[in-house]
Structures are given as C-alpha cells and as structure tokens.
Structure 1
Amino acid sequence: MNHTYETLRLKLERLLKKKKSAEERFQLNENRYNEAKAVFQKEKADVDKLESQSLTTFLRTVIGTHDKKLYEEKQEQIKAKLTLDEASALHLESRKELSRIIAEIDELKAELDTLKEKLKVTDSAFYEDLSRKEEQQLQLESEIQEINEALNAGESVLSGLNSTLEKLDSADSLATWDMFTDSFLIDMFKYDKIDQAEEELFYLEGLIERYKKELKDVDLQNVLNYENLSQMRRVFDVFFDNIFSDWSTKDTIQRNKDNLDTLYTEVDCIQKQLQDRKVALAKQLQESQLYY
C-alpha cells in the first residue's frame, strides 16, 4: 500500500482513539457541570427564600438566629458558586478539545479521500486492496442489518411475553379469590383473563416463529427451546365448582407462567448475545472504514 496513504491512515486511527477519550472526558465534565449547577441553584434558592420571608425573617431576627442562618446559607452559596465556576471551566475546555479533534479528523479524512482517488487510478495494488476492503465492509454491514432484524424480532417476543404474563397474573389473582368465594362473576372475569392470555399465546407463537427464522439467518439455530404454547388450555371448572378444580386451574396457570418466565430468560440471554456480536461487528466495520 502507498506509504503516504498508510501514514495518514494510522494518524487517523490515533485521532479516533483520542476522540473517544475526549468524548468520555467531555461527558464526565458535562455531568459534573450539571450537578454543580443544580447544587448552586438550590443554595441560591435557599438564600432567596430566607431573604423574602418577611415574617419569618422578623421572628428569626427577634430570637437572634436569622443572621447566623442567612450567613451560613450565603457561605454555602459561595462555595457552590466556586464549584460551579470550576466545573464550567473544565466543561468548556473539554468541549473545545473535542471540537478541535473532530475538526482535525474531518480534515484528515478529506485528505485521505483525495489521495485515495488518485491512488485508485495510479496504483493497481492499492485499488485491489481497496476493493477487498469495500467487499468486507459491505459484508459487515449486511451482517449488522441481519442482527438488527433479529434483535427487533426478539424485542417483539419479549413484549409479547410481558403482555401474556400480565394476563396470566390477573387470571391467577382471580383464581385465588375464586378458591375462597362462590361467585359466578369472579368465574367470568377469571375465564375472560385466561381467554385473553390464550389469544396472546397464539399471537406469541407467530412472533417466536419469526424470531427463530431471524436467528437462523444469523447462524443461531436451535438456541431457543420452548414447548408448543398452543398446548395451554383452560381448565373448565364452571361445572365442578369445588376446591379441587380451583386448584387445578391455579396449577395450570402457574405452570404456564413458569414456562413463559423460562422462555423470557432464554430470549433475553439470546438478545444479549446478539447485541455483543453487533458491537464486535461494528468495531470491525469502523476499523475497515479507516481505509476510506
């Protein structure tokens, strides 16, 4: 590869590392500045409150505590102002440093782009190497897109699981009441919640099938184990209204809640794996882009 281009590329790589450090420093100083500003505003408000409460001021003056209290509050305000000024100066300085690095990076990228266009015409070896890098970048972008699709499908599954568990929790609570009461109305509410949960389960199955397809696209096959959710069926105890059938209903609900909780844990774990892989690919892509 052309020596000048490689030198500029390495310089850009170093600048990007400096930019990351500068961003972290800027964020830290910005947080400190906001905290200091909040403290100062509070101290100022305390002083303003003391000076504006005429009756309280009079009474405290009479008993000899007002001047001392006001003095202490003003001292705290002065201390907070000094801290705020220091944080503000560091915040401003780190922002300027970050802006300077960003401008230097932009300038260097423009220089690299100009040189790259010249080398593509005059240096066949450089052109071939650049073409390979472009292919690698396209591949990485494609993999990241597929992972994003899998992550989106997984988020839909997690949302569906939350919704189904919410319905089952409601049905479980009503089933508990039903064990100790003889209420046709509670029965109807309970069955309504179970019906809603069943509808959510059927919908959830579709989401899981889509998720499995997306996982297959990113080479994560057979990582999701779950029983056929449509096997869940309501235990009808309306004609056998006694303690045993009520317990059977609660047991059925609890078994399904346990299964769904386990499934939620599995999906959440897979989502973390996908996110870690996405971060790794994004890092590779960024490194590949240093050639552009």
Structure 2
Amino acid sequence: MADKIPDSDALMAWKADKDRLPILQRRASQLRKKLQDAESKIKDQETVLAGEQADVDRLAGKSLGNYILSLSRKMDARRQKEEAELVAARHRLDELKEEQRYLQQALLEQQEQIMGASQAEHAWNQALVDLKSSLRAETAHTLADRYRERESALTQINGQVGEIEQARTVARRAQATADAMLERLRSAEGWSSYDVWFKGGIVTHMAKYNHLDAASDLMSHLSAQLRDLRSELADIRMDLGDSLNTYTSGTRALDYFFDNIFTDLSVRDRVREDLDTVQRIKGKLHQVERELDQKRSQAKAQAVVLQHQLQELLLQYADAKGN
C-alpha cells in the first residue's frame, strides 16, 4: 500500500488526464496514417522531379534537334516551359516535405501527451488499488460497509453477465445446428417430392435417406444443445417454455427414417412436419437470443452504475483521509 493516500483533487486530475488517452491514441493513429501518405507522395514527387530535371537536361544537350529548334527560336520557349515545370516540381516537393516535418512534430507531441496520460492512468489505477485495500481493511469507517455492499453486488452482476454470455453462446450454436438441419430436411423434401411424382429409383432413395440420416444425427445434436440451453437458462432464471418440448430427451420425431412401411407420400408429409417444427425451434432460439441480449445490456448497465458508485465512495474516502 502507498505510504500516503492521494487526496481527491490529485485523483480527479489523474482521471481527467487518463480519460483523454483514447482520444490521444486515436489522433496519433490518424497522424501515422497521414504521415505514411505524405511519405508516399514525396516518393512520387521525387520521381516527377527527376523526370522534369531530365527534360531540362535534354534541352541543354548538344543535339541536332536542339540545334534546329534554336534556329527557329523555339528553343527558348521550350526551355522556359521545361524550367518552369522543374521549378513547380521542386516547389511541390518542398511543400510535401514541409507537411511531413509538421506531421512528424505533431506525432512526437502526441506521443508525449500519450505518455503523460498513460502515466496518469497508471497512477489512477494504483491509487484505486491502494484506496480499495485501505477501505476494505476499515472496520469502523462509515464508508466501509457501503463499499463492501456495492462491491458484492458488482461481483454478482459480473457473474450474471458471464452466465448470460454462456447461455447466448449455446443458443447461437443451437441456431447453427437448426440451420444445418433445415438444409438437410429441405433437400430430403425435394427428393421425396420427386419420388412421389416420378417414382424415382434407388439413386433418389439413397439421396433422400442420406439427407434424412444426416438430419437425424443433427436432431440428436440439437436435442443435446437444447438440454444444455435449458440448464444455462435456469441459472439466470429464464425458461424456454413448452414450445421446444418436441426435441427434449427421449423424443424421436424422426423415427420414421428407419421404418420402411411408410409410403413416399407419408415420408414427404412427415419431412414437412419436421421442417415446420425445426423452423419453430429456430424462431424460439432467435427470440431467446434477443432476450439474452436485453438481459446482458441491463446487467452491464447495472454494473456501470455500481462501478461509478464504488469510485465515488473511494473518492469520498480519499477526501476524508486527506482531511
């Protein structure tokens, strides 16, 4: 623990500096991008300048073409034009280099400010650690009980956020399984319809039942995920309701896959029933995910309030200690 707890004025000064850190870092990132662009433009302009210099040098050389131009008095005009373009190219290069120097200086100043804000952030965080340690050790201070109460509440809220996020992960995985199952069932329905109308042979039967077998495996996987989701939701006092009972443990909605007494028409109708069932499950899972997102947002908002209250208590404690 620090030898001396900083007063609230010092803490608030550190906080003000550290709160500027994201803005300073964003500005530094923008300056680096501009500096890279400036360096690229300088290279391009140096190429342009070299070309203009080459044009001027060619006109200064002794060649038959230059001699003919000089006789017709066109040489002076041509030379003036090329020299003007050379001067303009040099001027543009000087402008770009000046911009580069400005950006380099601005970035250096920005980095110095970032360093200062980072030091303030470190001082702020260390001061909070020291204040927390000191306040937790208090047994008679009026703020100690209030701090411990809110700290315990924040721990519970953070735990709830973790449970909500775990349930959300399971729900999203179940949705992915439902999507895969719908794809298989739609393919099986297509082959079943073909069998009904065109009396397909062994190839269509094999294609159909391959999709049905895959859907059956996915159904088992989805059932396990729904059981897991029920358990996760129970931890946060949510219930799936009765709308997903079709795929609970012990239910085999696709037992007909292995029963050859059904006609092709019966198989197709049963596939359509399962398509409706899985589509309904997917809709329910999407609804659960939305509710979980809402609960997570509410819990995080409560956590922010508690964090602010804890910080305020620490500042009050620092002020009381300073006095």
TM-score by length of 2: 0.59
Letter in 2 for 1:109: N
Q: 1:103-123: per-residue Cα shift (whole Å, max 9, x none)?
A: 211112323444555564597
1:221 aligns with 2:223: no
Q: Deviations over 1:170-216 (max 9, x none)?
A: 32343354444512222122122112212222321221122122222
2:161 aligned to 144, 150, 156, which one? Answer: 144
Aligned to 2:175: 158
- Number of residue equivalences: 260
Contact 1:144 1:281 (8 Å CA) reproduced: no
Matches within 5 A, 1:41-60: none
The C-alpha deviation readout for 1:206-234, integer Å capped at 9, x for no partner, is 21122122222223235684341346336
Structure 1 residue runs of 5 or longer lacking an equivalent are 52-73
Which residue of structure 1 lines up, in the alignment, with residue 150 of structure 2?
133
Q: Could you tell me how far apart the structure 1 residues matched to 2:106 and 2:175 are? A: 43
Task: Identify the range of structure 1 (98-107 vs 171-180) with the bigger mean alpha-carbon deviation.
Answer: 171-180
Q: Cα RMSD (Å) of the superposition?
A: 4.8
Read off the aligned partner of 1:202 and give its amino acid letter: S
CA drift of 1:135 comes to 1.9
Equivalent residue number for residue 120 of structure 2: 104
Alignment partners' CA distance in 1, 2:212 and 2:107: 56
Equivalent residue runs for 1:98-247 within 5 Å: 98-115=114-131, 117=133, 120=137, 124-178=141-195, 179-180=197-198, 182-222=200-240, 225-229=243-247, 230=251, 232-233=253-254, 244-245=265-266, 247=268
State how 1:66-105 maps to structure 2 within 5 Å: 97-105=113-121
Q: Aligned residue for 2:33?
A: 33
Larger radius of gyration: 2
In 2, Cα distance between the equivalents of 1:177 and 1:122?
Answer: 80
Return closer, same or farther for 1:246/1:216 CA change in 2, 3 Å cut-off.
Answer: closer
Q: Residue 20 of structure 2 aligns to a residue in which SS?
A: helix
Please report how far the alpha carbon of residue 93 of structure 1 lies from its aligned counterpart in structure 2 after TM superposition: 6.0
Partner of 1:270: 291
| Cα 1:169–1:218 shift into 2, 3 Å | same
- TM value normalised by structure 1: 0.63
In 2, Cα distance between the equivalents of 1:34 and 1:160? 46
Q: Which of residues 252, 257, 265 is equivalent to 2:273? A: 252
Contact 1:165 1:260 in 2 (8 A): no
Letter in 1 for 2:286: T
Question: Would you say the 8 A contact 1:235–1:252 is kept in 2?
Answer: no
Indicate conservation of the 8 Å contact 1:154/1:271, yes or no: no
2: CA distance, partners of 1:34 / 1:184: 67
Per-residue CA deviation, residues 63-109 of structure 1 (Å, 9 max, x unaligned), is: xxxxxxxxxxx9xxx8xx89x95888777765654443232111123
Aligned counterparts of 1:223 and 1:95: Cα–Cα separation in 2: 56
Q: Which has the higher contact order (CA 8 A, sep 6+)?
A: 2
The 1:21–1:228 alpha-carbon spacing in structure 2 relative to 1, beyond 3 Å, is farther
Question: Is the CA contact 1:232–1:256 (under 8 Å) kept in the aligned structure 2?
Answer: no
User: Is contact 1:164–1:201 with CA below 8 Å preserved after alignment?
Assistant: yes
Name the SS of the counterpart of 1:228 in structure 2. Answer: helix
Q: 1:164 to 1:100 in 2, by over 3 A?
A: farther
- Contact persistence 1:150–1:214 (CA under 8 A): yes
Q: Which runs of 5+ in 2 are unaligned?
A: 52-88, 315-323
Seen in structure 2, the aligned counterparts of structure 1 residues 195 and 93 have a Cα distance that, compared at 3 Å, is farther
